[in-house]
Structure 1
Amino acid sequence: MYELMVRRDFVAQHYLTVPDCGPENEWHSHHFDVEVALKGDELNEHGYLVDIVEVEGALEALVDRYEDATLNDLPEFEGLNPSIEHFSRIFCTALTEQLNTAQLETVTVKIWEDDTAWASYTA
């Protein structure tokens, strides 16, 4: 199995909407790191699992959407607590919609909200 990973970082804001989260209920920033891991059994005719330039372009477009944004204000988070669990699923779904994933077994997005905490979602 082949695996390709691309990583980016950005700053975004949110506030948790569930009760009793202490300071997390207040608007605050995170320096997020997002890792995109793509897995598949076969390479294409160029020897790529997927063209890394395509992955970087799709990742850059998503980072541009979320960088310096307040997640709570975005339509994809409407009615949701903007946890990193929801964020990783939303990010992964949007990414897979932009990529040619025909030969991929899995696409995993892992989002770190600090040096010790992350959540991931695999499609």
Structure 2
Amino acid sequence: MYEISAVSHFDAAHFLRGYAGKCANIHGHRWKVAIKLTGSELDDMGILVDFMDVKQVLKEVTEIFDHKLINDIPPFDQLNPTAENIAKMIFDEMKTRLYDRMQCQVNIAKVTVWESENTSAAYYEI
């Protein structure tokens, strides 16, 4: 099994509805997002998926949030914009976009979202 990963960043604010603490107030982060892809077969050049393609799609997805209030962006206008929920949304969006564009035989192993250098949440399917 082969595994590749790509990382992107965005700057955005959010607040947590119903949270009893400082995070109920609007605040911002330099968010980091990493995606891991796995697959068992390489193409004729020995590539699982072109890094440039993965980075481009990841950039398109993370640009949705860049320099915005995440709480204003669907589904987070209704859903609490926790790192866990953001990781799942990015996972789902990447899955749709990668498969639609590349028709590739890879699996998204995991999407990890960091709110800071010391805290992260991840989403993956079993």
TM-score over 0.5 for the pair: yes
- Provide the C-alpha distance between the structure 1 equivalents of 2:93 and 2:75, rounded to a whole number of angstroms: 10
Does the 8 Å CA contact 1:92/1:107 hold for their aligned counterparts?
no
Q: 1:97-123: per-residue Cα shift (whole Å, max 9, x none)?
A: 111364113331100101211011124
Count of matched residue positions in the alignment of Structure 1 and Structure 2: 122
Amino acid at match of 1:34: V
1:65 corresponds to? 64
Structure 1 range deviating more: 41-50 or 82-91: 41-50
| Pair 1:13 & 2:13 matched | yes
| Pair 1:89 & 2:96 matched | no
2:112 corresponds to? 110
2:54 corresponds to? 55
Q: 1:27-82: per-residue Cα shift (whole Å, max 9, x none)?
A: 11011111111111111223211111110110111122111111110112132111
Does the 8 Å CA contact 1:35/1:110 hold for their aligned counterparts?
yes
**Deviation beyond 4 Å, 4+ runs, structure 1:** none
Structure 2: gaps spanning 5 or more residues: none
1:75 corresponds to? 74
Structure 1 range deviating more: 53-62 or 42-51: 42-51
Amino acid at match of 2:92: T
Provide the TM-score with structure 2 as the length reference.
0.89
Q: Residues 9, 19 of structure 1: CA spacing in aligned structure 2 closer, same or farther, 3 A cutoff?
A: closer
Q: Residues 96, 32 of structure 1: CA spacing in aligned structure 2 closer, same or farther, 3 A cutoff?
A: same
Q: Percent of pairs identical after alignment?
A: 30
Does the 8 Å CA contact 2:35/2:108 hold for their aligned counterparts?
no
Does the 8 Å CA contact 1:41/1:105 hold for their aligned counterparts?
no
- Provide the C-alpha distance between the structure 1 equivalents of 2:44 and 2:71, rounded to a whole number of angstroms: 42
Structure 1: gaps spanning 5 or more residues: none
1:4 corresponds to? 4
